[in-house]
Amino acid sequence: MRLDGKVAAITGAAGGVGRATSLRFAAEGAHIVAADVDDDGNEETVDLVVAAGGKATAVHVDVTDSGEVAAMVDTAEEDFGKLDILFNNAGVMLPSDDDAVSTDESTIDATLAINVKGVLLGCKHGIPALRRAGGGSIINTASFVASVGAATPQIAYTASKGAVLSLTRELAVLHAREGIRVNAVSPGPLHTELLMKLLDTDEKRQRRLVHIPMGRFGKSAEIANAALFLASDEASFVTGTNLQVDGGLTAAYVTPE
């Protein structure tokens, strides 16, 4: 198994990519610390992991709260003895997020707090644990919009995901000699509850699909598979990269420099 004996903390584990990754990592032998503010959904993720024969524990974590993020790392070490993998996956895309003129400050603050500060706090508390484990892998969830922008205005979200990519690159350089790899995965539009609520008409969905060369939305399981590669020893010489899992969307719109 590709993650046999590894311990992974996954934020945003109550559903979507976080749940899919929890299940995928556990199927490959990892012990899971599932973290989310949605306690019911988080417990359901743990139940699914355990029912499939894996090991997991749930912890309530608001990723903007330093104490709660620290407690997540403590739980990993107390329950499973170490932390090998940190997946900073929790994020929001708020319906009130629009263009720079229209988006209110509370939306900007909330988006940046969760999507950027949450990643920073995960690394602040996770990196010392990875050092104690002798190294490990950090995976940060970015987005295709960090590379190409969004056809539908979502300025705070786009800015936050650009910041995630910058953080990923710097962290990768800073910690490479410590055996800590830091990479980002950039999903394209996914068929998740979050996005389908925003694209609540067929017209809105078709407007998004026309930009995707594969002509469909991605699946959470496909992002989980990408995260699995970055978490595993198969990616032992991969750090500071942005793995785009977007159905060809970025390739269709980005001109090589």
| Positions marked active-site | 157
Greatest pairwise CA separation for the chain in angstroms:
51
Element (H, E) at 172: helix 155-175
How far CA 4 is from CA of 33, 54, 83, 211, in Å, comes to 15, 11, 13, 39
33-48 in b/e burial notation, b at 16+ Cβ within 10 A? Answer: bbbbbeeebbbbbbeb
From CA 137, how far away is CA 231, in angstroms rounded? 6
Label residue 67 exposed, middle or buried (CB < 10 Å: 0-12, 13-18, 19+). exposed
138 phi and psi angles, rounded to 5 deg = -115, 135
Element (H, E) at 250: helix 249-253
| Helix then strand then coil, % of the chain, to nearest 5 | 50, 15, 35
